[in-house]
């Protein structure tokens, strides 16, 4: 696979490059705030950078007719609409988290929310001190699955890659569901799975990462 990375000098950008290199894929395009390097035509672009980069990312995908895997968090409606418009031309996967475990957790908390309708629910998420958006994109995914107006508590501490805790509580008992990312490698491997899927699918559209990993479309 020939691929490109937007935000190549960031934490996730470096992790993606290392992971894809281990699998024998060819890095032919790199972009960050100050630099742009091209050494071929990428088949897929991966962007885990910042919302303000989305416009340039979409432009690059159009230029090369490249598929897009985007895991940037903190996106607004403007950025999401640009991504949706691009999906009419190339295959796209947009997700706030590319961990298999988080998407399994999302299914579990959705089920629990349906069963424990009268219980209180709150979300606590913790990330490294440099993460700019709060709540995290993953906390938003979990809240959407729970489908209630509930509090989300955000912590920015040290170098935590990502912790998410959903607490269900009733009088006399508490049920906790927790996911902890031990390294960014798990997200890079998920991004690789997404990129391989898009190359195989070969037609424009918005594709659901959760359905790709668990089936159903």
pLDDT in tens, 82-137: 999 999 999 999 999 999 999 999 999 999 999 999 999 999 999 999 988 899 99
Q: Is 127 a catalytic residue?
A: yes
Buried b (16+ CB within 10 A) or exposed e, 127-164: beeebebebbbbbbbbbebbeeeeebeeeeeeebbbbb
Tokens linked to 26: 């060819």
pLDDT at 202 over 90: no
Q: Mean pLDDT in the chain?
A: 95
The dotted CATH code for 100-180 is: 3.30.360.10
CATH 3.40.50.720 domain position(s) in the chain: 2-97+184-214
Q: Is 179 a catalytic residue?
A: no
CATH 3.30.360.10 domain position(s) in the chain: 100-180
Q: What is the DSSP string of 50-100?
A: -GGGHHHHHHHHHHHT-EEEE---S--HHHHHHHHHHTTTSEEEE-S---H
> Given this model, what pLDDT does residue 216 score?
66
Which residue among the candidates 25, 103, 127, 143 is catalytic per the annotation? 127
d(Cα 24, Cα 104) in Å, to the nearest integer?
28
The dotted CATH code for 2-97+184-214 is: 3.40.50.720
Across-strand partners of 68?
45, 92
Average of pLDDT values for 136-141?
Answer: 94
Average of pLDDT values for 160-169?
Answer: 96
Which residue among the candidates 25, 131, 143, 179 is catalytic per the annotation? 131
């Amino acid at each position: 696979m020939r691929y490109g990375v937007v935000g190549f000098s960031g934490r996730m950008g470096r992790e993606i490059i290392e992971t894809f290199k281990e699998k024998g894929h060819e890095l032919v395009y790199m972009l960050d705030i100050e630099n742009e390097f091209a050494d071929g035509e990428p088949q897929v672009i991966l962007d885990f950078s910042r919302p303000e980069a989305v416009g340039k990312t979409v432009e690059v995908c159009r230029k090369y007719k490249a598929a897009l895997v985007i895991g940037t968090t903190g996106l607004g409606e403007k950025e999401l609409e640009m991504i949706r418009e691009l999906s009419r031309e190339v295959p796209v996967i947009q997700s706030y988290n590319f961990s298999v475990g988080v998407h399994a957790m999302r299914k579990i908390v959705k089920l629990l929310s349906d069963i424990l309708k009268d219980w209180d629910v709150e979300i606590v998420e913790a990330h490294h001190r440099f993460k700019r958006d709060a709540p995290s994109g993953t906390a938003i995914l979990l809240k959407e699955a729970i489908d209630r107006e509930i509090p989300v508590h955000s912590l920015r501490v040290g170098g935590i890659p990502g912790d998410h805790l959903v607490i269900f509580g009733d009088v006399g008992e508490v049920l906790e569901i927790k996911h902890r990312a031990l390294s960014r490698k798990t997200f890079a491997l998920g991004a690789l799975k997404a990129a391989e899927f898009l190359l195989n699918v070969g037609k424009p559209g918005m594709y659901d990462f959760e359905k790709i990993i668990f089936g159903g479309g």
